[in-house]
Amino acid sequence: MRAFLALGLAGVLLGTAACSGSGSGHSDAPAAAERPAGKSPYKSTRLPAAYKIPDVRLTDQDGRPYDLAARGQGKITMLFFGYTHCPDICPTTMADAAGAMSLLSPAEKARTRVVFVTADPARDKPDVLKEFLGKFDTSFVGLTGPYAEIRKAAADAKTPISPPPAGAKGDYAVQHGSNVMVYGPDGSGALMFPYQFGSAEMAHDLKALMAAAPSAGSAATAGSIRVDGARVRVPSSPDVTAGYLTITNTGQPDTLTGADSPAAGSVEMHRMSMNGNGMKMEQVRTVPVGKGTVEFAQGGLHLMLMKPRDLKAGQSVELTLHFARAGDVKVTARVVPVTG
């Protein structure tokens, strides 16, 4: 029975490809039967936890470096490989994902990330991805980069893709898998949404997954403020390390005025942004927190722990965030390895 289920999952992973027929790919699927028996709370196929979110660094729709594995920490990641010129499966899948996000609460949406990796980097430059995904949900992340890196990421995700035809020009088709691979907050395989699974079904399974898989950092609340996914990177130098988290505000506008931690001499807030052909980092004194979410993440707004203590992967540290309206919010952050 175990071998039968493993082969069945491998067949599902490879059995669908988009736009122009089945693409080439492979699947080294661990036995799906290792999952505990019993009635599943999910409507979709469960992935073995041995599947991991691809460890790859690409470029996002704003032209910034994007570490997929690191940015997935503390989030549920819906990962899809496609291309913006796709006539059917890609826009349908993104529309379903956008519909699912609209069915989540602000706190649930803050814990979920949709990532679209192009299988056609020759045409899908960052600005093209941004325009395409913005038609569905501006929170969606689009990634491009060297085809070799994209192909490796797709192989790690057990998703078949094929390169565009040699010398192709104009309106050509690209072969790619049609499944959405879903990973839990720790980066482990969780679910697989098939093509045309539907927004309501996606939202149902995402909610069930959140109930079963807590955020990487312990959640903290104060009034209308909730903090999720807090994590601190293992220091790569004795002087500084970074901290990331997501703030969700369901009430009146507030302002984050600062932070501190017993794990560091001081904590500052910094923002990275494009400056001509490079990146610049500047310290910010306050951060407006309107209704919705504010994300502290790699490559953008983030915490800087100055003179961190001796932090090891797997430890927990306390962070205190200071809000003008909500007051102090204490949250436990997990110390995570540096992955890029």
First to last CA, the chain: 40
Residue-level pLDDT at 200:
97
CATH of domain 220-336: 2.60.40.1890
Q: Which residues of the chain have pLDDT under 70?
A: 1-38, 213-222, 274-277, 339-340
Residue-level pLDDT at 8:
41
The CATH homologous superfamily of the domain defined by 2-212: Glutaredoxin (3.40.30.10)
Backbone angles phi, psi at 174, to 5 degrees: -125, 135
Residue-level pLDDT at 327:
85
Q: Considering only the C-alpha atoms of the chain, give the largest distance between any 2 of them, rounded to a whole number of Å.
A: 60
Residue-level pLDDT at 83:
96
Residue-level pLDDT at 10:
47
Residue-level pLDDT at 1:
31
- From-to residues of CATH 2.60.40.1890 in the chain: 220-336
For the chain, what percentages of helix, strand and coil (3-state, to nearest 5) are there? Answer: 20, 35, 40
Distance CA 276, CA 242 (A): 24
- pTM for this predicted structure: 0.66
- From-to residues of CATH 3.40.30.10 in the chain: 2-212
The dihedral formed by the CA atoms of 323, 326, 332 and 337, expressed in degrees to the nearest 10 = -40
Please list, in sequence order, all residues whose beta carbon lies within 8 angstroms of the beta carbon of residue 84, skipping any fewer than 6 positions away: 90, 118, 120, 123, 124, 128, 129, 132
Express each pLDDT in 137-147 by its tens digit.
Answer: 999 999 999 99
Amino acid residing at 176: H
Express each pLDDT in 36-93 by its tens digit.
Answer: 445 789 999 999 988 999 999 999 998 988 889 878 877 899 999 999 999 999 999 9
